Amino acid sequence: MKTKVLLLITLLTGLALAHEGVELGPNGGRILGFSDNETMHGEVTVKGDRFHVALLDKAMRPVAVNRQSITVTTGDRANPVKLEIGKEATGFVFPLVKSGEWLIVRYKETAEAKAVTARFEYNTATCEDCKKAEWLCQCKPDAEKK
């Protein structure tokens, strides 16, 4: 019985994660979870030929960068590419990638802290419904539309 309940919870959690929508931040960028408890976020925006990741606290207010760090990996599993990260007052910058590339962002609160991993596909194709780029699209999967 216990096993069945656990299995059900696991399944439901899996579904919830799969259908989790894109969250947008105060600057219209994509929010990445940089904590297990919603206390730290990264808002990804594109400026020119670079991605910017702004650190935001629980209330989506900017956080000063001091000991925090990120690493960003792109490319495929067989040939991962680490991108060069620049530090700014309240965030990080790294080079733009091609549309369709996945970005794996690993955030660390301090050098000793456990890394929190966030991933997303940088898909710049336009969504037919909201006309936004797919990586910023908040439309629910078809099955969930009313």
In this complex, which beta carbon is closest to Zn ion, that of residue 97 or of residue 127?
127
In this complex, which beta carbon is closest to Zn ion, that of residue 114 or of residue 145?
145
Which residue is closest to Zn ion by CB?
A: 127
Q: How far is the CB of 98 from Zn ion (least distance, A)?
A: 21
Give the interface with Zn ion as residue ranges (CB under 5 A): 127, 129-130, 137, 139
Q: How far is the CB of 142 from Zn ion (least distance, A)?
A: 11
In this complex, which beta carbon is closest to Zn ion, that of residue 39 or of residue 126?
126
3-state secondary structure of 67: coil
Q: Cα separation of 27 and 135, whole Å? A: 15
Distances, alpha carbon 72 to alpha carbons 49, 97, 107, in Å: 16, 11, 9
**Cα-trace Rg, the chain:** 17
